[in-house]
Amino acid sequence: LNMKKSILWLVSVLFLLLLTITSCEENDGLVNPYGNWKERNQHFIDSIADVAYANPDEWKIIHTYQFPEPTDPLASKFVKDYVYCKVLESGDGISPFYTDTVSANYRGQLIPLLEGTVVTFDQSYQGELNKDVAIPRTFGLGVNLIAGWNTALQHMREGDRWQVYIPSELGYGLVGSDNIPGYSTLCFDIHLVKVTSNR
């Protein structure tokens, strides 16, 4: 009987030790910074859409050419069909057509990771934007650009600076690209410097 009690006690101690080790491993501070990425990105773009609709004087809500124009009066619920743009500065130049070439300063970022880090995945300048020294990048619209970029740029004017929020469906979708995970909302600071017409 004492032998059985000893074995039972030993098994209990080993079980508690195993639980302690497992608990320590789970709480050792190593958190996946991309945890719940799809859900967090959906929540983020939904909240941006709510802010944009509530502040029409400061925001532009642009339906993408990639999806058919909505006929439903509740079309605002189709968040993925739109690009949300907060106007930071207004220019007075021309707007580009789909076949035109543009020069722009920009920075593209992901939504904040779980620990608060903001990942910059592409940019044309370092630090804060200084328009006097920044060298804009030039590219043709419609040429290897995501739908969200093409959508926003065709509604901007030379001199505009917008904070642009692109749902993943108008970005890199569920697959992602390089250092951009699938389901990522893309956050861009775009300053449209020049439009060169190719018409």
Give the sign of the dihedral formed by CA 177, CA 179, CA 183, CA 184.
negative
* pTM exceeding 0.75: yes
Residue 13, pLDDT score: 43
Q: What is the separation of C-alpha 42 from the centre of its chain, rounded to a whole number of angstroms? A: 10
Residue 155's region, left for phi above 0, alpha for psi from -120 to 50, else beta, is: alpha
Residue 142, pLDDT score: 81
pLDDT in tens, 66-111: 777 767 666 556 788 899 999 999 999 999 999 999 999 999 999 9
Angle at CA of residue 88, ends 197 and 106, nearest 5° = 55
152 against 74, higher pLDDT: 152
Best mean pLDDT range from 10-24, 58-72, 148-162: 148-162
Round to whole Å and give the CA distance between 67 and 174.
17
